[in-house]
Chain A
């Protein structure tokens, strides 16, 4: 497949933004500036980037607890994301959601989800709405290998398949469900093998290769958009960081992580390919990196300077009517 200069730059910009954003979150969390807990998308950047490059602004996605990458790739504003992760009023959720609940309906981002496997059927419903309204929107459901063992996976895939809904189920198999290695919790070689149980295509793709992800997602999105029904797309990738920041990672060796970083980091893979083919130069890549770093510093600055919500805002947005009385206290 041929990619334009513009596409290549966009791929790298998105992947590098996710990586830098997450590295910054890691540092800020360890420095005590971010409350709660955070799950980083580092290592999985090629999946969100390659899939989202096939989507329109009006297409929907449902995301996960590890959702910053999806949100960035769908086109969210870094400042409002960062402010939300800080718990600030200027954040996407006005400080009420935090890292695990960022949503931006204006770009079709229907929300990260704190419940593993909580998004399958929401994506099915969004696709059902598109079908009933006669639009050609597509819904993409991101989930991990761990979530594929939830009952919601089965109910969602079956319903989407039997109604031929425009959904693409994207499994990010990052080899670990929380702290448990894939092989200890799952009986099949590939999550995609389960597609046969629903009579839909099951596709395995190298999730550390943005070009491969792009191509596989393109076929799945086109199939969904043209009425062909859902696809189960499994991207084999690797969670370079722990389940959460601060995870002691007792379930794997440091060597395993180092080897992966050396040999199959999606950003390094991309650089190797575009440099070898002389499609982008070191200078061009460095320019993108500098711009991205500046944007992230601006986002951090915005988050730091933003106010926290006031206690009086507690009942706002609980029900569509506002005010405590309407909340049926």
Chain B
């Protein structure tokens, strides 16, 4: 199968959906001729023009607000927020408007909008350009939250998200953008709410999201050399969450490590841990372990950034603590 980078896979999903459905359009900062801050929208502006690949003022609130208004009146906008950190300035439009309109209007509105935003550190972008804020949005009923870890999932989940009639938060890890992987051609759809077992194993389950899936697979490789069989489960979507696949894996292995790049405290791993404790406690042979960022802002200096963010070795260490 042909290979694409994660960024190319996202672009291919956008291109196919824009060709298929004239109501799909992109808006965001520098998404047009410039091709996006991380180059994700690339040449879409050349194919679809400035109306459908729409450069906006630096007005994140208006970007999301206008997307919500357009979605409510028949369009399928895919706004891009340059860094997920900037979602903090459009929270009202997401949390009080997009997430609530359908519900509080008694089912009258449909908000088919996909908000794309890069998450994560690792590029010395410091405290305001490096966060992973996905857990905030999982706390708000009315939103869906998607976090692909591979190019194929990025394509398939983005197509599914664009076709979904609900507001979807779609988080891409900026370190994954150049990562290559096999991606099916054509209209490849990965349904929301289906986890994927990225590696089968029998001793320990590692539930990992986004970039940490790659790190978990590296950890599994290292541990395999030491005779430990690790199963890596990627939920792929946090809302809706495929509890069944996670619980089935935990029941099989009896041990679980949950890994995400977001700050461990009140991260989505806490939710997964709680679900496992509520529904599979009797199957556990060891305490649930969580791996995530230390509770500090992401610092600038490389040595500090590396220290605050979780890595492969942290997963290996966590697994070793419970076997």
Contacts and interface: CB of A to CB of B under 8 A. Distances in A.
Interface stretch (A34-42, A119-127, A171-179, A262-270): A119-127
Contact of A115 (B92, B144, B241): B92
A125 B166 contact: no
B61 A155 contact: yes
Interface string A106-137: 00001101110010111111111110110000
A120 B101 CA distance: 15
Contacts of B141: 318, 327-328
A121 B106 contact: no
B25 interface: yes
A139 B70 CA distance: 11
A152 interface: yes
B144 A328 contact: yes
A257 interface: no
Given A97-B106, A101-B104, A125 B57 contact: no
A60 interface: yes
B165 interface: yes
B57 A159 contact: yes
B108 A103 contact: yes
A158 B105 contact: no
Contacts of B23: 133
Contacts of B34: none
A110 B70 CA distance: 11
User: Looking at A101, A120, A155, A326, which has the most chain B CB atoms within 10 Å of its CB?
Assistant: A155
Interface string B71-98: 1111101000000000000001100110
A328 B107 contact: no
A311 interface: no
B72 A115 contact: no
Best-buried of B51, B71, B101 by chain A (most CB within 10 Å): B101
Contacts of B144: 319, 328
B226 to A, nearest CB: 37
B166 A97 contact: no
Interface residues of A, number: 49
A128 B107 contact: no
B213 interface: no
B45 to A, nearest CB: 15
A3 to B, nearest CB: 31
> Of residues B69, B109, B193, which shows the largest number of chain A Cβ atoms within 10 Å of its Cβ?
B69
A123 B104 CA distance: 18
B102 A318 contact: yes
Interface stretch (A87-95, A218-226, A291-299): A87-95
Contacts of A155: 57, 59, 61-62, 65
A212 B164 CA distance: 45
A155 to B, nearest CB: 4
A328 B240 contact: yes
Interface in B100-118: 101-110
A294 to B, nearest CB: 27
A7 to B, nearest CB: 29
B102 A317 contact: yes
Contacts of A94: 106-107
A111 B69 contact: no
Given A111-B109, A320-B165, A328-B193, A128 B69 contact: yes
Contacts of B70: 125-126, 128-129, 132
Interface centre among B64, B66, B103, by most chain A C-beta atoms within 10 angstroms, is: B66
A125 B59 CA distance: 13
B234 to A, nearest CB: 17
A121 B93 contact: yes
Contacts of A317: 102-103, 106-107
B142 interface: yes
Q: Which of B92, B105, B107, B165 has the most CB of A within 10 A?
A: B105
A173 to B, nearest CB: 22
Interface of A: 60, 62, 91-97, 101, 103-105, 110-111, 113-115, 118, 120-130, 132-133, 139, 151-152, 155-156, 158-159, 162, 316-320, 325-328
14 contacts: A95-B106, A104-B108, A120-B65, A121-B61, A122-B97, A125-B73, A132-B70, A133-B23, A151-B61, A152-B61, A156-B62, A158-B59, A159-B59, A318-B142
